Structure 1
Amino acid sequence: MSFLTEWITNIIVFILLATVIDMLLPSSNMKKYAKIVTGLILITIILTPLLKLFTTDFDAALASMDWKQSTSQSVENSIESKKKEIQASQRAYILEQMAVQMKNDAEKEMMDRHNKVIDSVDIQAEDLDRLPESITSVTVHLTEEKDDSVEAVQMVEIDSQEKKVNREAKNDNSGIASFLAEKWSLDQDQLIISVEGGNSSRESR
Protein backbone atom coordinates (compact mmCIF):
# COMPACT_ATOMS: atom_id res chain seq x y z
CA MET A 1 0.00 0.00 0.00
CA SER A 2 2.84 2.42 0.84
CA PHE A 3 4.41 1.71 -2.55
CA LEU A 4 1.16 2.67 -4.33
CA THR A 5 0.87 5.90 -2.31
CA GLU A 6 4.48 6.82 -3.09
CA TRP A 7 3.92 6.11 -6.78
CA ILE A 8 0.81 8.35 -7.03
CA THR A 9 2.56 11.10 -5.04
CA ASN A 10 5.53 11.06 -7.43
CA ILE A 11 3.20 11.39 -10.43
CA ILE A 12 1.31 14.34 -8.91
CA VAL A 13 4.48 16.14 -7.82
CA PHE A 14 6.07 15.68 -11.22
CA ILE A 15 2.95 16.95 -13.04
CA LEU A 16 2.92 20.07 -10.85
CA LEU A 17 6.64 20.58 -11.43
CA ALA A 18 6.23 20.12 -15.19
CA THR A 19 3.36 22.64 -15.19
CA VAL A 20 5.47 25.22 -13.38
CA ILE A 21 8.37 24.70 -15.80
CA ASP A 22 5.98 25.00 -18.75
CA MET A 23 4.66 28.30 -17.39
CA LEU A 24 8.13 29.71 -16.82
CA LEU A 25 9.57 28.82 -20.22
CA PRO A 26 8.97 31.31 -23.04
CA SER A 27 7.12 30.22 -26.16
CA SER A 28 9.90 28.86 -28.33
CA ASN A 29 11.40 25.64 -29.66
CA MET A 30 12.95 25.10 -26.22
CA LYS A 31 9.47 24.89 -24.68
CA LYS A 32 8.48 22.23 -27.22
CA TYR A 33 11.55 20.12 -26.39
CA ALA A 34 10.93 20.59 -22.68
CA LYS A 35 7.40 19.19 -23.08
CA ILE A 36 8.78 16.14 -24.90
CA VAL A 37 11.32 15.51 -22.14
CA THR A 38 8.82 15.97 -19.32
CA GLY A 39 6.38 13.68 -21.14
CA LEU A 40 8.99 10.94 -21.40
CA ILE A 41 9.91 11.32 -17.73
CA LEU A 42 6.24 11.14 -16.76
CA ILE A 43 5.81 7.95 -18.77
CA THR A 44 8.84 6.49 -17.00
CA ILE A 45 7.40 7.36 -13.59
CA ILE A 46 4.05 5.82 -14.51
CA LEU A 47 5.72 2.61 -15.76
CA THR A 48 8.04 2.29 -12.72
CA PRO A 49 5.84 -0.31 -10.92
CA LEU A 50 5.72 -2.47 -14.04
CA LEU A 51 9.50 -2.24 -14.48
CA LYS A 52 10.03 -3.27 -10.86
CA LEU A 53 7.57 -6.14 -11.30
CA PHE A 54 9.39 -7.42 -14.40
CA THR A 55 12.76 -7.08 -12.65
CA THR A 56 11.51 -9.04 -9.65
CA ASP A 57 10.02 -11.76 -11.86
CA PHE A 58 13.25 -11.99 -13.85
CA ASP A 59 15.36 -12.40 -10.69
CA ALA A 60 12.92 -14.99 -9.39
CA ALA A 61 13.06 -16.81 -12.72
CA LEU A 62 16.87 -16.84 -12.62
CA ALA A 63 16.83 -18.16 -9.06
CA SER A 64 14.32 -20.82 -10.08
CA MET A 65 16.48 -21.83 -13.05
CA ASP A 66 19.56 -22.12 -10.83
CA TRP A 67 17.60 -24.23 -8.35
CA LYS A 68 16.26 -26.46 -11.11
CA GLN A 69 19.76 -26.95 -12.55
CA SER A 70 21.13 -27.78 -9.10
CA THR A 71 18.25 -30.19 -8.47
CA SER A 72 18.70 -31.79 -11.88
CA GLN A 73 22.43 -32.30 -11.26
CA SER A 74 21.71 -33.79 -7.84
CA VAL A 75 19.14 -36.17 -9.36
CA GLU A 76 21.60 -37.21 -12.09
CA ASN A 77 24.31 -37.90 -9.49
CA SER A 78 21.85 -39.93 -7.41
CA ILE A 79 20.75 -41.94 -10.46
CA GLU A 80 24.38 -42.62 -11.43
CA SER A 81 25.17 -43.73 -7.87
CA LYS A 82 22.16 -46.07 -7.80
CA LYS A 83 23.14 -47.41 -11.21
CA LYS A 84 26.62 -48.28 -9.96
CA GLU A 85 25.18 -49.93 -6.85
CA ILE A 86 22.82 -52.03 -8.97
CA GLN A 87 25.64 -53.03 -11.33
CA ALA A 88 27.84 -54.00 -8.38
CA SER A 89 25.00 -56.07 -6.89
CA GLN A 90 24.37 -57.77 -10.23
CA ARG A 91 28.08 -58.50 -10.61
CA ALA A 92 28.29 -60.03 -7.13
CA TYR A 93 25.14 -62.08 -7.74
CA ILE A 94 26.37 -63.43 -11.09
CA LEU A 95 29.75 -64.44 -9.65
CA GLU A 96 28.08 -65.98 -6.61
CA GLN A 97 25.71 -68.07 -8.73
CA MET A 98 28.57 -69.16 -10.97
CA ALA A 99 30.61 -70.18 -7.90
CA VAL A 100 27.68 -72.21 -6.55
CA GLN A 101 27.31 -73.99 -9.89
CA MET A 102 31.03 -74.77 -10.07
CA LYS A 103 30.97 -76.09 -6.51
CA ASN A 104 27.98 -78.33 -7.21
CA ASP A 105 29.62 -79.70 -10.35
CA ALA A 106 32.81 -80.75 -8.58
CA GLU A 107 32.03 -81.46 -4.93
CA LYS A 108 30.91 -85.11 -5.27
CA GLU A 109 33.88 -86.11 -7.38
CA MET A 110 36.18 -84.13 -5.08
CA MET A 111 34.91 -86.17 -2.15
CA ASP A 112 35.34 -89.46 -3.97
CA ARG A 113 38.79 -88.79 -5.43
CA HIS A 114 40.49 -86.61 -2.81
CA ASN A 115 38.42 -87.13 0.33
CA LYS A 116 37.92 -83.37 0.74
CA VAL A 117 34.87 -81.12 1.01
CA ILE A 118 34.58 -77.93 -1.06
CA ASP A 119 33.69 -75.36 1.56
CA SER A 120 33.43 -72.35 -0.77
CA VAL A 121 34.48 -71.02 -4.16
CA ASP A 122 35.43 -67.37 -4.75
CA ILE A 123 35.66 -66.07 -8.32
CA GLN A 124 37.42 -62.93 -9.54
CA ALA A 125 36.67 -61.73 -13.08
CA GLU A 126 37.41 -58.59 -15.11
CA ASP A 127 34.46 -58.57 -17.51
CA LEU A 128 31.15 -60.31 -16.79
CA ASP A 129 30.22 -60.17 -20.47
CA ARG A 130 33.14 -62.47 -21.34
CA LEU A 131 32.76 -65.22 -18.76
CA PRO A 132 34.46 -67.61 -18.28
CA GLU A 133 37.32 -66.24 -20.44
CA SER A 134 37.66 -63.13 -18.24
CA ILE A 135 38.13 -65.09 -14.99
CA THR A 136 41.40 -64.03 -13.37
CA SER A 137 41.40 -66.33 -10.35
CA VAL A 138 39.31 -68.94 -8.56
CA THR A 139 39.99 -69.52 -4.87
CA VAL A 140 38.81 -72.89 -3.60
CA HIS A 141 38.50 -73.42 0.15
CA LEU A 142 38.66 -77.10 1.13
CA THR A 143 38.19 -78.99 4.37
CA GLU A 144 39.05 -82.56 5.23
CA GLU A 145 36.15 -84.99 5.24
CA LYS A 146 35.20 -85.73 8.81
CA ASP A 147 35.94 -89.27 9.95
CA ASP A 148 34.02 -90.41 13.03
CA SER A 149 36.15 -93.51 13.52
CA VAL A 150 38.71 -93.42 16.32
CA GLU A 151 42.25 -94.08 15.22
CA ALA A 152 44.71 -95.85 17.45
CA VAL A 153 47.43 -93.65 18.90
CA GLN A 154 50.80 -94.54 17.48
CA MET A 155 54.30 -93.41 18.37
CA VAL A 156 55.83 -91.63 15.39
CA GLU A 157 58.95 -89.69 14.70
CA ILE A 158 57.68 -86.11 14.44
CA ASP A 159 60.30 -84.65 12.11
CA SER A 160 60.15 -87.33 9.44
CA GLN A 161 56.37 -87.58 9.73
CA GLU A 162 55.98 -83.81 9.22
CA LYS A 163 58.11 -83.86 6.07
CA LYS A 164 56.11 -86.75 4.73
CA VAL A 165 52.83 -84.95 5.42
CA ASN A 166 54.08 -81.80 3.67
CA ARG A 167 55.10 -83.76 0.59
CA GLU A 168 51.78 -85.56 0.51
CA ALA A 169 49.86 -82.30 0.94
CA LYS A 170 51.79 -80.66 -1.90
CA ASN A 171 51.18 -83.59 -4.20
CA ASP A 172 47.53 -83.69 -3.19
CA ASN A 173 47.08 -79.96 -3.90
CA SER A 174 48.66 -80.42 -7.30
CA GLY A 175 46.29 -83.28 -8.05
CA ILE A 176 43.32 -81.25 -6.84
CA ALA A 177 44.31 -78.29 -9.01
CA SER A 178 44.69 -80.55 -12.03
CA PHE A 179 41.29 -82.12 -11.39
CA LEU A 180 39.49 -78.78 -10.90
CA ALA A 181 41.18 -77.17 -13.90
CA GLU A 182 39.96 -80.00 -16.10
CA LYS A 183 36.51 -80.01 -14.49
CA TRP A 184 35.96 -76.27 -14.86
CA SER A 185 37.90 -75.77 -18.13
CA LEU A 186 40.43 -73.45 -16.49
CA ASP A 187 44.20 -73.16 -16.40
CA GLN A 188 45.89 -74.39 -13.26
CA ASP A 189 47.56 -71.00 -12.75
CA GLN A 190 44.07 -69.50 -12.30
CA LEU A 191 43.40 -71.70 -9.27
CA ILE A 192 44.25 -70.96 -5.64
CA ILE A 193 43.79 -74.00 -3.41
CA SER A 194 43.27 -73.38 0.29
CA VAL A 195 43.00 -76.38 2.62
CA GLU A 196 41.83 -75.89 6.19
CA GLY A 197 44.76 -76.44 8.51
CA GLY A 198 47.21 -75.98 5.64
CA ASN A 199 48.58 -73.19 3.46
CA SER A 200 47.03 -71.58 0.43
CA SER A 201 48.83 -72.31 -2.80
CA ARG A 202 48.49 -71.03 -6.35
CA GLU A 203 49.10 -73.79 -8.82
CA SER A 204 51.25 -72.92 -11.80
CA ARG A 205 52.44 -74.79 -14.81
Structure 2
Amino acid sequence: MIESLRQWLVGICTAVFFITAIEMLLPDNSMKKYCKFVLGLILITVFINPLIKIFNKDFDINSYTAKAIESFEENTKSEKSLKDFNEYKEKSKADTIEAFESNLKLSCEKNLKEKYPDGNYKVTIKADYDEESNIVYVKNVNVEIQKGSVEKVKKVDVSGKTTSVSNFNEESNEQCNKIKNYLSKELNVSEDVIHVNS
Protein backbone atom coordinates (compact mmCIF):
# COMPACT_ATOMS: atom_id res chain seq x y z
CA MET A 1 0.00 0.00 0.00
CA ILE A 2 2.80 2.42 0.94
CA GLU A 3 4.65 1.54 -2.28
CA SER A 4 1.51 2.28 -4.32
CA LEU A 5 1.07 5.62 -2.54
CA ARG A 6 4.73 6.48 -3.15
CA GLN A 7 4.37 5.65 -6.89
CA TRP A 8 1.21 7.75 -7.08
CA LEU A 9 2.92 10.77 -5.47
CA VAL A 10 5.98 10.38 -7.70
CA GLY A 11 3.64 10.20 -10.72
CA ILE A 12 1.84 13.39 -9.65
CA CYS A 13 5.11 15.25 -9.00
CA THR A 14 6.52 14.14 -12.34
CA ALA A 15 3.33 15.20 -14.16
CA VAL A 16 3.27 18.60 -12.42
CA PHE A 17 6.95 19.15 -13.23
CA PHE A 18 6.40 18.09 -16.86
CA ILE A 19 3.29 20.30 -17.25
CA THR A 20 5.04 23.32 -15.71
CA ALA A 21 8.01 22.90 -18.04
CA ILE A 22 5.75 22.61 -21.09
CA GLU A 23 3.72 25.70 -20.08
CA MET A 24 6.92 27.73 -19.72
CA LEU A 25 7.96 26.75 -23.26
CA LEU A 26 4.60 27.49 -24.88
CA PRO A 27 4.38 30.77 -26.84
CA ASP A 28 1.68 33.28 -25.89
CA ASN A 29 -0.86 32.68 -28.64
CA SER A 30 -4.30 31.15 -29.15
CA MET A 31 -2.90 27.59 -29.01
CA LYS A 32 -1.76 28.01 -25.40
CA LYS A 33 -5.25 27.56 -23.93
CA TYR A 34 -5.76 24.30 -25.87
CA CYS A 35 -2.38 22.98 -24.77
CA LYS A 36 -3.22 23.86 -21.14
CA PHE A 37 -6.51 22.00 -21.50
CA VAL A 38 -4.74 18.85 -22.74
CA LEU A 39 -2.09 19.12 -20.03
CA GLY A 40 -4.88 19.47 -17.45
CA LEU A 41 -6.47 16.27 -18.76
CA ILE A 42 -3.13 14.48 -18.36
CA LEU A 43 -2.88 15.70 -14.75
CA ILE A 44 -6.45 14.59 -14.00
CA THR A 45 -5.66 11.16 -15.45
CA VAL A 46 -2.59 10.87 -13.21
CA PHE A 47 -4.71 11.82 -10.20
CA ILE A 48 -7.62 9.44 -10.81
CA ASN A 49 -5.67 6.44 -12.10
CA PRO A 50 -5.06 4.94 -8.58
CA LEU A 51 -8.65 5.70 -7.52
CA ILE A 52 -9.99 3.72 -10.48
CA LYS A 53 -7.63 0.86 -9.62
CA ILE A 54 -9.23 0.66 -6.17
CA PHE A 55 -12.59 -0.16 -7.78
CA ASN A 56 -11.22 -2.10 -10.75
CA LYS A 57 -7.99 -3.96 -10.13
CA ASP A 58 -7.54 -4.88 -13.82
CA PHE A 59 -7.77 -1.26 -15.01
CA ASP A 60 -4.73 -0.04 -16.92
CA ILE A 61 -4.95 3.28 -18.73
CA ASN A 62 -2.14 2.30 -21.09
CA SER A 63 -4.05 -0.74 -22.37
CA TYR A 64 -7.20 1.35 -22.90
CA THR A 65 -5.16 3.94 -24.80
CA ALA A 66 -3.51 1.25 -26.93
CA LYS A 67 -6.92 -0.27 -27.73
CA ALA A 68 -8.33 3.13 -28.69
CA ILE A 69 -5.38 3.82 -31.01
CA GLU A 70 -5.64 0.35 -32.54
CA SER A 71 -9.38 0.82 -33.14
CA PHE A 72 -8.75 4.21 -34.73
CA GLU A 73 -6.08 2.76 -37.03
CA GLU A 74 -8.41 -0.06 -38.11
CA ASN A 75 -11.15 2.44 -38.94
CA THR A 76 -8.83 4.65 -40.97
CA LYS A 77 -7.62 1.67 -42.97
CA SER A 78 -11.09 0.63 -43.97
CA GLU A 79 -12.32 1.20 -47.51
CA LYS A 80 -15.07 3.60 -46.48
CA SER A 81 -12.74 5.80 -44.51
CA LEU A 82 -10.29 5.87 -47.38
CA LYS A 83 -13.06 6.78 -49.83
CA ASP A 84 -14.35 9.50 -47.50
CA PHE A 85 -10.83 10.82 -47.05
CA ASN A 86 -10.25 10.96 -50.82
CA GLU A 87 -13.59 12.72 -51.38
CA TYR A 88 -12.75 15.23 -48.66
CA LYS A 89 -9.29 15.74 -50.15
CA GLU A 90 -10.69 16.37 -53.65
CA LYS A 91 -13.33 18.78 -52.34
CA SER A 92 -10.73 20.57 -50.27
CA LYS A 93 -8.45 20.82 -53.31
CA ALA A 94 -11.28 22.19 -55.49
CA ASP A 95 -12.26 24.73 -52.80
CA THR A 96 -8.65 25.83 -52.42
CA ILE A 97 -8.23 26.31 -56.18
CA GLU A 98 -11.52 28.24 -56.39
CA ALA A 99 -10.55 30.54 -53.50
CA PHE A 100 -7.08 31.02 -55.01
CA GLU A 101 -8.56 31.97 -58.40
CA SER A 102 -11.10 34.34 -56.86
CA ASN A 103 -8.57 36.12 -54.62
CA LEU A 104 -5.99 36.39 -57.41
CA LYS A 105 -8.63 37.74 -59.83
CA LEU A 106 -9.62 40.51 -57.41
CA SER A 107 -6.00 41.32 -56.64
CA CYS A 108 -5.06 41.51 -60.34
CA GLU A 109 -8.02 43.73 -61.20
CA LYS A 110 -7.20 46.08 -58.31
CA ASN A 111 -3.48 46.22 -59.15
CA LEU A 112 -4.14 46.82 -62.85
CA LYS A 113 -6.59 49.62 -62.03
CA GLU A 114 -3.96 51.24 -59.79
CA LYS A 115 -1.12 50.81 -62.31
CA TYR A 116 -3.14 51.70 -65.45
CA PRO A 117 -6.11 53.81 -64.26
CA ASP A 118 -7.29 54.74 -67.77
CA GLY A 119 -9.09 51.40 -68.36
CA ASN A 120 -11.37 48.88 -66.69
CA TYR A 121 -10.08 45.35 -66.42
CA LYS A 122 -11.85 42.02 -66.28
CA VAL A 123 -9.51 39.22 -65.25
CA THR A 124 -10.13 35.48 -65.51
CA ILE A 125 -7.74 33.14 -63.70
CA LYS A 126 -7.38 29.40 -64.24
CA ALA A 127 -5.33 27.58 -61.62
CA ASP A 128 -4.44 23.97 -60.91
CA TYR A 129 -2.87 21.89 -58.15
CA ASP A 130 0.48 20.13 -58.46
CA GLU A 131 0.40 16.90 -56.41
CA GLU A 132 4.18 16.41 -56.40
CA SER A 133 5.19 19.84 -55.11
CA ASN A 134 1.92 20.32 -53.19
CA ILE A 135 1.27 23.83 -54.55
CA VAL A 136 -1.46 25.68 -56.41
CA TYR A 137 -0.14 27.32 -59.56
CA VAL A 138 -1.48 29.66 -62.25
CA LYS A 139 -2.28 27.93 -65.56
CA ASN A 140 -3.83 30.79 -67.44
CA VAL A 141 -4.55 34.51 -66.99
CA ASN A 142 -6.95 36.27 -69.35
CA VAL A 143 -7.23 40.05 -69.12
CA GLU A 144 -9.95 41.91 -70.96
CA ILE A 145 -9.45 45.67 -71.22
CA GLN A 146 -12.75 47.52 -71.30
CA LYS A 147 -12.50 51.10 -72.44
CA GLY A 148 -15.45 53.17 -71.31
CA SER A 149 -18.50 51.78 -69.55
CA VAL A 150 -19.76 49.49 -72.34
CA GLU A 151 -18.10 46.15 -73.05
CA LYS A 152 -16.87 45.42 -76.54
CA VAL A 153 -19.19 43.01 -78.41
CA LYS A 154 -17.59 39.66 -79.16
CA LYS A 155 -17.94 37.89 -82.52
CA VAL A 156 -20.59 35.18 -82.56
CA ASP A 157 -20.56 32.28 -85.04
CA VAL A 158 -24.08 31.02 -85.81
CA SER A 159 -23.32 29.11 -89.01
CA GLY A 160 -23.52 25.63 -87.50
CA LYS A 161 -25.92 23.87 -85.16
CA THR A 162 -24.25 25.32 -82.08
CA THR A 163 -23.64 28.93 -81.25
CA SER A 164 -20.20 29.80 -79.97
CA VAL A 165 -18.57 32.96 -78.73
CA SER A 166 -15.00 33.48 -79.86
CA ASN A 167 -12.26 33.26 -77.26
CA PHE A 168 -9.83 36.01 -76.48
CA ASN A 169 -8.31 37.46 -79.64
CA GLU A 170 -5.03 38.83 -78.50
CA GLU A 171 -3.93 42.15 -79.88
CA SER A 172 -0.23 42.93 -80.07
CA ASN A 173 0.02 46.51 -78.99
CA GLU A 174 2.15 48.36 -76.51
CA GLN A 175 -0.43 48.48 -73.72
CA CYS A 176 -1.11 44.73 -73.92
CA ASN A 177 2.62 44.00 -73.75
CA LYS A 178 3.02 46.30 -70.74
CA ILE A 179 0.18 44.56 -68.93
CA LYS A 180 1.62 41.13 -69.76
CA ASN A 181 5.03 42.15 -68.50
CA TYR A 182 3.59 43.74 -65.34
CA LEU A 183 1.42 40.71 -64.46
CA SER A 184 4.24 38.31 -65.26
CA LYS A 185 6.43 40.03 -62.66
CA GLU A 186 3.61 40.44 -60.13
CA LEU A 187 2.44 36.83 -60.32
CA ASN A 188 5.88 35.35 -60.98
CA VAL A 189 4.60 33.44 -64.02
CA SER A 190 5.66 33.22 -67.66
CA GLU A 191 4.20 35.74 -70.10
CA ASP A 192 3.06 32.74 -72.19
CA VAL A 193 0.20 32.04 -69.76
CA ILE A 194 -1.02 35.66 -69.82
CA HIS A 195 -3.41 36.72 -72.59
CA VAL A 196 -4.53 40.33 -72.95
CA ASN A 197 -7.47 41.35 -75.12
CA SER A 198 -8.46 44.98 -75.63
Q: Same fold (TM over 0.5)?
A: no
TM-score computed with the length of structure 1 as normaliser: 0.39
Q: Normalising by the residue count of structure 2, what TM-score does the alignment of the two structures yield?
A: 0.40
- Greater C-alpha Rg: 1
